[in-house]
Amino acid sequence: MQKVNTKLPAFVRQEGGSMEQKNLDQIIRETVARYMNRSLIVAGNWKMNTTPVEGVELFKGIVAKKGEVCSCVNFIVAPPFTHLSEIVKLSRGTGIGVGAQNCAAEAKGAYTGELSAEMIASLGVEYVILGHSERRQYYGETSETLNKKMAQAYANNLTPIYCVGENLEEREAGKHFDVVRQQVEEVVFNLTPEQFSKLIIAYEPVWAIGTGKTATADQAQEIHAYIRKVLAEKFGDAANETVILYGGSCKPANAAEIFAKEDVDGGLIGGAALKVSDFKGIIDAFN
């Protein structure tokens, strides 16, 4: 995973930026912490879409476009389980990471229909999405389950992409900060500092997922900065290095504005990841 972040620090971007007011140490510290050590990532969550044949086609289409987009961006694709083996093989040498969309909470045994983190990792998969709102909502995933899944992921060297986000009712009641704090505290706070250093977080407001409604860039920045602040309460400066992705109806038309925000390090993309041109258009937001 390369760590080259081409975004300019906010204090440089701001008109009439107050660089003089900051001493050199502070500038260096901020630049290094925020802009050198955080990867930019665009991850495609394919959900339960595409047959294996269609998935391979989609993946090949993405590979074909890779050379046309900024090399500063790391791509990840998370296809359905049935596609993983083939797509991992095709991904070799492309620099594109492959993730699963879920893993079992247990290591092995009589859990019909489940797939363990070990099975997934043995295919050469590097990432696993955990705590997606669809898993929380339709499959009853709780913090208790997610703590077990995180432990399985780390035990098998998978990097978790841990999703948090509030639903519409919670947003309208002004509870979004409390909701994400709870989702972070109940799971992420149980990690060791070493585990935490590998974690990727995705903020995905449930009301924006697949609805065509996106959080505004300012709303995204506000809550990303808040998540980073909560992480810092437990992990200190290491929180400056945590990649926090935005997800929820991210499209080529809105990605640039959202990704330009200081605490937004890329996106977790659903619907728009199923079309090569849209996925590429989103990655182009970094150009």
Q: Least distance (Å) from ligand PGA to the CB of residue 231?
A: 20
165 touches ligand PGA (CB under 6 A): no
Q: Out of 40, 161, 199, 269, which residue is the one contacting ligand PGA (CB under 6 A)? A: 269
Residue 83 designated active-site: no
Q: Least distance (Å) from ligand PGA to the CB of residue 55?
A: 17
160 touches ligand PGA (CB under 6 A): no
Give the residues across from 246 on adjacent strands: 203, 267
209 touches ligand PGA (CB under 6 A): yes
Question: Measuring CA to CA, which residue among 76, 159, 166 is closest to residue 117?
Answer: 159
Spatial distance between the Cα atoms of 45 and 270, rounded to a whole number of angstroms: 5
Q: Out of 121, 271, 285, 286, which residue is the one contacting ligand PGA (CB under 6 A)? A: 271
80 touches ligand PGA (CB under 6 A): no
Question: Measuring CA to CA, which residue among 179, 180, 285, 188 is closest to residue 242?
Answer: 188
Residue nearest to ligand PGA (CB): 270
249 touches ligand PGA (CB under 6 A): yes
Q: Out of 73, 125, 268, 283, which residue is the one contacting ligand PGA (CB under 6 A)? A: 268
Question: Is 145 in contact with 105 (CB distance < 8 Å)?
Answer: yes
Q: How many CB atoms lie within 10 A of CB 214?
A: 22
| DSSP classification of residue 74 | E
79 touches ligand PGA (CB under 6 A): no
> What value, to the nearest 5°, has the Cα angle with vertex 222 and ends 18 and 197?
90
Binding pattern for the stretch 122-141 against ligand PGA, x by CB under 6 A and - elsewhere: --------------------
Can you tell me whether residue 211 is helix, strand or coil? coil
Q: Out of 95, 193, 210, 236, which residue is the one contacting ligand PGA (CB under 6 A)? A: 210
250 touches ligand PGA (CB under 6 A): yes
Question: Is 100 in contact with 125 (CB distance < 8 Å)?
Answer: yes
> What value, to the nearest 5°, has the Cα angle with vertex 88 and ends 199 and 246?
35
Instruction: List, in order, residues 6 or more apart from 42 with CB less than 8 Å away.
Output: 73, 74, 75, 76, 266, 267, 269, 279, 282, 283
Residue 118 designated active-site: no
Burial of 172 (0-12, 13-18, 19+ CB in 10 A): exposed
- With respect to ligand PGA, which residue has the nearer C-beta, 170 or 240? 170
Stretch that binds ligand PGA, among 57-65, 98-106, 176-184, 266-274 (CB under 6 A): 266-274
Can you tell me whether residue 140 is helix, strand or coil? coil
The residue from 83, 132, 176, 224 that is catalytic is 132
45 touches ligand PGA (CB under 6 A): yes
The residue from 134, 141, 204, 241 that is catalytic is 204
- What's the CA dihedral at 279, 250, 286, 33 to 10 degrees? -130
Q: Least distance (Å) from ligand PGA to the CB of residue 270?
A: 2
- With respect to ligand PGA, which residue has the nearer C-beta, 102 or 240? 102
Q: Out of 55, 80, 99, 247, which residue is the one contacting ligand PGA (CB under 6 A)? A: 247
| DSSP classification of residue 105 | S
Contacting positions for ligand PGA (CB under 6 A): 45, 204, 209-210, 247-250, 268-272
Residues identified as active-site: 132, 204
